[in-house]
Structure 1
Amino acid sequence: MAATAGKVKFCTDLEKSVLVENFTKRGWVRVDQEDGWNFYWSSVHSTRNIFSLETGYRLADDQVINHFPNHYELTRKDLMVKNIKRYRKDLEKDGNSLAERDETGRYVYLAQGVGIFLVNKLSQIKKWSRDGRGIPAHVPGKDAYIIQRYLEDPLLIGGKKFDLRLYVLVTSYRPLKAYMYRLGFCRFCTVKYNSSTSELENMFVHLTNVSIQKHAEKYNDSHGGKWSIHNLKMYLEGTRGKEANDKLWDDIHWLIVHSLKAVQPVMASDRHCFECYGYDIMIDTALKPWLIEVNASPSLTSTTAADRVMKYSLISDILNIVIPGRDIPDVRWNKIPAKKALGNFDVLYDEELERLAHLSDTADGRDGKSRAAAAGRSQTGKDGKKQLTIWK
Structure 2
Amino acid sequence: MAQRILGKPNPNIRFRCSWKTVIYEVLKARQWSETDSELDWDFFWSDVSWLHEFFDHIHLADHQRINHFRNYYELTRKDLLIKNLKRMKKTLEKDSRSAEAAKYDFFPPTYALPAEYGLFVEQFKRNAGVWIMKPVGKAQGRGIFLFHKLGQISEWKKDHRWKVDNPQVESYIVQRYINNPYLVGGKKFDLRIYVLVMAYTPLKAYLYRSGFARFTNTRFSMKKEDILNNYVHLTNFAIQKTAPTYDSKNGTKWPLQSLKIHMITKHGEKAVNELFHNIQMIIIRSLIAVQNVIIQDKHCFELYGYDILVDESLKPWLLEVNASPSLAADTPSDYDLKFGMLDDLLSIVDMERRLPAQSSPKRVGGFDLLIDQGAADAKPSPAILGCHNDRVQQLKKLFGPLARAARHAAAPTHD
TM range (shorter): 0.7 to 0.9
SS of residue in 2 equivalent to 1:164 = strand
Structure 2 distance, partners of 1:217, 1:318, is 36
1:230 aligns with 257
Equivalences for residues 341-360 of structure 1 within 5 A: 342-353=364-375, 356-357=376-377
The 3 A distance-change label for structure 1 pair 115 and 192 is same
2:119 aligns with none
Structure 1 distance, partners of 2:304, 2:358, is 18
1:155 aligns with 182
2:52 aligns with 48
Structure 1 distance, partners of 2:353, 2:224, is 55
- Does the CA contact (< 8 Å) of 2:216 and 2:232 recur in 1? yes
Structure 1 distance, partners of 2:366, 2:177, is 33
Q: Deviations over 1:238-274 (max 9, x none)?
A: 0011111011011100100000000000001100000
1:81 aligns with 82
1:9 aligns with 14
2:393 aligns with none
Equivalent of 1:168 in 191, 195, 199: 195
Are residue 123 (structure 1) and residue 151 (structure 2) matched? yes
The 3 A distance-change label for structure 1 pair 197 and 312 is same
Counterpart amino acid of residue 349 in structure 2: V
1:27 aligns with 31
Counterpart amino acid of residue 126 in structure 1: S
The 3 A distance-change label for structure 1 pair 350 and 256 is same
Task: Report the Cα offset of residue 209 of structure 1.
Answer: 0.6
Counterpart amino acid of residue 113 in structure 1: G
State the percentage of identical aligned residues.
Answer: 44
What is the aligned length? 337
Q: Deviations over 1:165-203 (max 9, x none)?
A: 000000000010111111100000001011011012211
Structure 2 distance, partners of 1:6, 1:287, is 48
Are residue 319 (structure 1) and residue 346 (structure 2) matched? yes
Structure 1 distance, partners of 2:29, 2:154, is 54
- Does the CA contact (< 8 Å) of 1:40 and 1:66 recur in 2? yes
Equivalences for residues 268-307 of structure 1 within 5 A: 268-307=295-334
Equivalences for residues 58-97 of structure 1 within 5 A: 58-92=59-93, 93-97=95-99
The 3 A distance-change label for structure 1 pair 120 and 166 is same
Structure 2 distance, partners of 1:177, 1:108, is 23
Counterpart amino acid of residue 159 in structure 1: G
Structure 1 distance, partners of 2:204, 2:54, is 24
- Does the CA contact (< 8 Å) of 1:9 and 1:37 recur in 2? yes
Q: Deviations over 1:19-59 (max 9, x none)?
A: 2222222221011132510000000111222322xx3x100
The 3 A distance-change label for structure 1 pair 119 and 130 is same
1:371 aligns with none
- Does the CA contact (< 8 Å) of 1:171 and 1:335 recur in 2? no
2:406 aligns with none
Q: Deviations over 1:138-185 (max 9, x none)?
A: xxx962222122111000100000000000000000010111111100
- Does the CA contact (< 8 Å) of 1:100 and 1:109 recur in 2? no
The 3 A distance-change label for structure 1 pair 236 and 6 is closer
SS of residue in 2 equivalent to 1:94 = coil
Task: Report the Cα offset of residue 109 of structure 1.
Answer: 4.5
1:390 aligns with none
Q: TM-score, normalised by structure 1?
A: 0.81
SS of residue in 2 equivalent to 1:113 = coil
- Does the CA contact (< 8 Å) of 2:79 and 2:172 recur in 1? no
Task: Report the Cα offset of residue 375 of structure 1.
Answer: 5.4
Structure 2 distance, partners of 1:357, 1:142, is 47
SS of residue in 1 equivalent to 2:314 = coil
Structure 1 distance, partners of 2:10, 2:240, is 47
The 3 A distance-change label for structure 1 pair 288 and 58 is same
Q: TM-score, normalised by structure 2?
A: 0.76
SS of residue in 2 equivalent to 1:146 = strand
Equivalent of 1:338 in 361, 367, 385: 361
Structure 2 distance, partners of 1:182, 1:29, is 30
CA RMSD across the alignment: 2.5
Equivalent of 2:231 in 201, 204, 208: 204
- Does the CA contact (< 8 Å) of 1:321 and 1:337 recur in 2? no
1:104 aligns with none
Q: Which runs of 5+ in 2 are unaligned?
A: 1-8, 109-139, 162-167, 383-397, 399-415
